[in-house]
Amino acid sequence: MDAYKVVVTKRDTRTYTDQPIPDEVLQRILQAGRMAGSSKNTQPVRLVVIRDREWLKQIAECGKFSQPLLGAQAGIAVCCAPDGSDFDAGRAAQNMMVAAWNEGIASCPTSVHDQPCIIEKLGLPQDDVGEASGRKGWRVVVIIALGYPEPSVPMSMGRARVPVEDYVMWEKWGGSEVRGKR
């Protein structure tokens, strides 16, 4: 698939088959996350891969809307250093989700609402002091659920995307005139 097609066809998917993800495919997905850019190349992101289905269920207890992890073949906790940016973590997460879709693997980002719960379960270091941010240790920004999509479940959840003319504005809010078209 070409990059544009991967981006425009990827949808968050919450239901997966039982087909395991091959190790070499998972490694390519992780490499895509590792190669994401970061502010001033600080590389504040680290990944924790969870493949054990029972452990995924326990990890899911740290979020309110983490049901996609219950049927996933893998979860990737995107962790950020105390002074790291959630934006940088998001860049890594999106890279991995796009790379996964290129391999035919669906994904869904899940929120972690209970940081003390996930910090304890994953054993994240809390000794570092994030002077600029006031944060005391590593945190989980998002956990990505991964698996091959269940073909009987529609990926769009029946919702159409907002039309581009309602999504994009030119020069200012509400601006609809495209200037400088070539």
- N-terminal to C-terminal alpha carbon distance within the chain: 28
Does the pLDDT of residue 21 top 80, yes or no?
yes
pLDDT band of residue 182 (cuts 50, 70, 90) is very low
Of 122, 107, 20, which is closest to residue 61 (Cα–Cα)? 122
Distance CA(137)–CA(112), nearest Å, equals 16
Q: What pLDDT is recorded for position 134? A: 61
Token pair, residue 52, equals 């054990």
What amino acid is encoded at 80 in this protein?
C
User: Measuring CA to CA, which residue among 88, 128, 50 is closest to residue 62?
Assistant: 50
* Strand partners of residue 149: 16
Tens digits of residue pLDDT in 137-174: 999 999 999 999 998 877 666 678 889 888 899 888 98
**DSSP assigned state of 12:** B
Q: Are 88 and 42 in contact (CB under 8 A)?
A: yes
Query: pLDDT by residue (tens digit) across 23-78?
Result: 999 999 999 999 999 999 999 999 999 999 999 999 999 999 899 999 999 999 99
* Residue range 3-151, CATH number: 3.40.109.10
Q: What is the dihedral of CA 92, 93, 99, 100, to 10 degrees?
A: 150
Indicate the pLDDT class of residue 10, thresholds 50, 70 and 90: confident
Residue 153 structure tokens: 């479940």
Which residue would you say has higher pLDDT here, 35 or 9?
A: 35
Whole-number Å distance between alpha carbons of 36 and 43: 9
**pLDDT per position as a tens digit, 118-141:** 999 999 999 755 555 566 899 999
Tell me how far apart the alpha carbons of residues 26 and 11 are, in angstroms, rounded to a whole number.
19
Q: Is the pLDDT of residue 181 over 60?
A: no
Q: Which amino acid is at 52?
A: D
Q: What is the pLDDT of residues 72-118, one digit of tens each?
A: 999 999 999 999 999 999 999 999 999 999 999 999 999 999 999 99
134 burial via Cβ count (<10 Å: 0-12, 13-18, 19+)? exposed
d(CA 144, CA 67): 11
Of the pLDDT bands very low, low, confident and very high (cuts 50, 70, 90), residue 11 is: confident
